[in-house]
Amino acid sequence: MHPIPIPNHQRKLPSAKYEAWKMWHEDGLSMDKVANFPARSAPIKEQTVCEYLLEAAKEGFEIDWPRFCDEIGLTRQIFLVIQGAITKVGSTDKLKPIKNELPEDISYMQIKTCLLMQNCGISLEVALPSDPSISKASELENKVTDSSTKTAPLAFTMTQEQEVPPINDDLQLPEKRQKLNTTEGSSVALEATENSILNWLEKLNEGVSLSDILEHFNGSKKESVIDLVASLECDFLIFKKNNLYRLL
């Protein structure tokens, strides 16, 4: 698959993300078809395509929001439920507390899209026009934990931009790594699983580098650990900032 030239005024977006945006927005391909485009050397996850499109939106690229929301299943009713959960939590620093207030079938991607739309000043009427079923929104709102708490709607234009953690194109080792204090002489070789990585990161609020993760879980192959970290990041359970991984 040959790289598509990026116009000079859109150079902020990496080539892979620009190609995904162009195929979806200009060529009209679905996220699934972009992810499994025949010319790719290997398919990528549909969720990754979705993340690429959100990154393009952050950089000012045009997005057909009604179409985007339709593909990820974000309805007006779900948006309002997410909005109520955000208001109840009172912070968007981490996505997990917001997710905990929502029904299980509402995804992290829908939460991130809701936040980004607010950050970009995208009105609800533009992205999700009114429809006759809007009256059913209250039924979904009742699913929010402790729904007796009244919540006020958030303004769609936020005065302070919130950062939406991106998915990284790769998991290269940083040049400068933050080393953790580890017990010397430990002979236990720890194996990496999704749960073991999440449980370990939960104890480390400052975050850890990829090299620290590889060193800690030295009972597993390097490639397997990297794949697990990438999977957790794609599922929005962890995020990378300043070359350090933290729980969402």
Say yes or no: 57 and 76 in one domain: no
Q: What is the DSSP secondary structure assignment for residue 243, as one 8-state letter?
A: T
Q: What is the DSSP string of 88-155?
A: HH---S-SHHHHHTS-TTS-HHHHHHHHHHHHTT--HHHHS---GGGGGHHHHHTTSTTTTS--PPPP
In a domain, 161, yes or no: no
Say yes or no: 91 and 117 in one domain: yes
Range of the domain at 57: 15-63
pLDDT at 20: 93
- Encode pLDDT of 93-119 as tens digits: 889 999 999 999 999 999 999 999 988
pLDDT at 197: 87
In a domain, 121, yes or no: yes
In a domain, 4, yes or no: no
Query: Residue 9, SS3?
Result: helix
Say yes or no: 49 and 95 in one domain: no
**Domains of the chain: total:** 3
Q: Yes or no: say if 98 and 108 are a contact pair by the CB < 8 Å rule.
A: no
In a domain, 218, yes or no: yes
Say yes or no: 199 and 238 in one domain: yes
Closest by alpha carbon to 164, among 202, 203, 108, 126?
108
In a domain, 142, yes or no: no
The CATH number covering residue 217 comes to 1.10.10.10
Identify residue 55 by its one-letter amino acid code.
Answer: E
Say yes or no: 56 and 84 in one domain: no
pLDDT: which is higher, 228 or 59: 59
What integer best gives the mean pLDDT of the chain?
Answer: 77
- Encode pLDDT of 12-44 as tens digits: 788 889 999 999 999 999 999 999 998 888 888
Gap between the Cα atoms of 99 and 95, Å rounded: 6
Say yes or no: 206 and 239 in one domain: yes
Say yes or no: 53 and 94 in one domain: no
Gap between the Cα atoms of 68 and 102, Å rounded: 21
Q: Yes or no: say if 117 and 156 are a contact pair by the CB < 8 Å rule.
A: yes
Say yes or no: 47 and 78 in one domain: no
Q: Which two tokens stand for residue 118?
A: 């607010």
Gap between the Cα atoms of 6 and 26, Å rounded: 13
Say yes or no: 96 and 56 in one domain: no
Say yes or no: 239 and 218 in one domain: yes
In a domain, 1, yes or no: no
Say yes or no: 33 and 56 in one domain: yes
Query: CA of 136: how far to CAs of 78, 114, 155, in Å?
Result: 10, 19, 22
In a domain, 39, yes or no: yes
At 212, give phi and psi (nearest 5°): -65, -40
Q: Is residue 175's pLDDT more than 50?
A: no
In a domain, 135, yes or no: no
